[in-house]
Amino acid sequence: MKVLGLETSCDETGLAIYDSELNGGKGGVLAQVLYSQIELHATYGGVVPELASRDHIRKLVPLFDELLDKAGVDKHDIDAVAYTKGPGLIGALMTGALFGRTLAYGLGVPAIGVHHMEGHLLAPLLGADDVAFPFVCLLVSGGHTMLVRADGVGRYEHLGESIDDAAGECFDKTAKMLGLPYPGGPNVAKLAATGDKHAYELPRPMLHKGLDFSFSGMKTAVHNLIKDTPNSDSDPKVRADIAASFQYAVVDTLVKKCVRALKQTGLKRLVIAGGVSANSELRAALESELAKMGAQVHYAPPELCTDNGAMIAYAGFCRLQAGQQDDLSVACVPRWDLTSLNFS
């Protein structure tokens, strides 16, 4: 079964074909293409929703043709279409949903709307590393920071989430305060690599309160630190130390919450997914701490950490295998509870 996946929830247009017959029937990604709108939004220091929607429209058809050529298949070889239904920017979501639903209708194949975060949660299962349920998943990106217990596809238990800013959003805001270009996360990490993470003490909001997160206070603390530190706008060493101290505070918070979630659930397997899961300091810290408690951490290949069509194709395949598909109507969901996907 070949499933076309379409990801258009924000500022990346991702298309991929998941083929369940690859790898001796274990399944795998036949081909994928990805177009990033980073240059388009860099001028504004963040994503402009209207521009994002228009750019998805401009790129979907050329990328679809490129994908078919790369995969060496005809559009009539596609057995189903999966598209991101939410959460995300409503205009951006609608572009992929309408394209996908229309294509599926024209081909006479089923279509299904996929939860963006379920796509991220399942993406590590596409890697070479064997990941088995049950596990605790840390979903951490520019728009979400949450802990979920996953006992199987469609069997999720919400453990905790950010009550305000997501960790990735905090990275982006900190980058902007430091005068770093968009996207913020990778640029903060690059600057932090040359700094001293112990140079400044930053708060860890809600560190000892359950499994929820809060990052708005950390963002404010960074703002005040930059304002009150001499030469923070000109001295490369000072700027690097601020970036490193900030990254250390975020990573320390995420790691401690993950350890607590594993102890609370009694599980020994952690999966991290989403754009921030590509952060090397976070990966190293989790591997170190989990090794102390005899637990393992798994993550998706780097190309599947950020938004992509492969994760949507695979999540769609899992849902279709469970007998689910959508009707002809198209309804996107900008805000969507992951646990509402649970099978009855």
Query: What residue spans of the chain are helical by DSSP H?
Result: 22-25, 38-42, 49-71, 90-107, 116-122, 167-177, 184-192, 216-228, 236-265, 280-292, 309-321
| 195 within 8 A of 201, measured Cβ to Cβ | no
CB atoms within 10 A of CB 89: 23
Closest C-alpha among 283, 224, 226 to residue 258: 283
CATH code: domain 2-124+304-340 is 3.30.420.40
Q: What is the pTM of this model?
A: 0.94
Name the CA dihedral angle for 238, 240, 244, 246, rounded to a multiple of 10 degrees: 60
Q: What CATH number is given for 132-299 in this structure?
A: 3.30.420.40
Do 2-124+304-340 and 132-299 come out as alike in CATH topology? yes
- As annotated, the binding site includes 116, 120, 139-143, 172, 185, 279, 307
pLDDT in tens, the chain (344 residues): 999 999 999 999 999 999 999 999 999 999 999 999 988 998 888 899 999 999 999 999 999 999 999 999 999 999 999 999 999 999 999 999 999 999 999 999 999 999 999 999 999 999 767 789 999 999 998 888 999 999 999 999 999 999 999 999 999 999 999 999 888 899 999 999 999 999 999 999 899 889 999 999 999 999 999 999 999 999 999 999 999 999 999 999 999 999 999 999 999 999 999 999 999 999 999 999 999 999 999 998 888 999 999 999 999 999 999 999 999 999 999 999 999 998 86
Binding region for Fe cation: 116, 120, 307
What integer pLDDT is reported at residue 44 of this predicted model?
86
Record the tokens describing residue 187, joined without a space: 């640029």
Per the CB < 8 A criterion, the answer to whether 16 and 31 are in contact is: yes
For β-strands 80-86 and 111-115, DSSP reports them as: parallel
Count how many Cα atoms sit within 13 Å of the Cα of residue 144 in the half-sphere of its side chain.
31
187 touches 134 (CB < 8 A): no
What sign has the CA pseudo-torsion 47, 32, 96, 137? negative
Instruction: Map out the domains of the chain as residue ranges.
Output: 2-124+304-340, 132-299
Residues at the binding site for substrate are 139-143, 172, 185, 279
191 and 180 Cβ atoms separated by less than 8 Å = yes
Contact 40, 72 (CB under 8 A): no
SS3 content of the chain, % helix, strand, coil (to 5): 50, 20, 35
How confident is the model at residue 244, as a pLDDT?
98
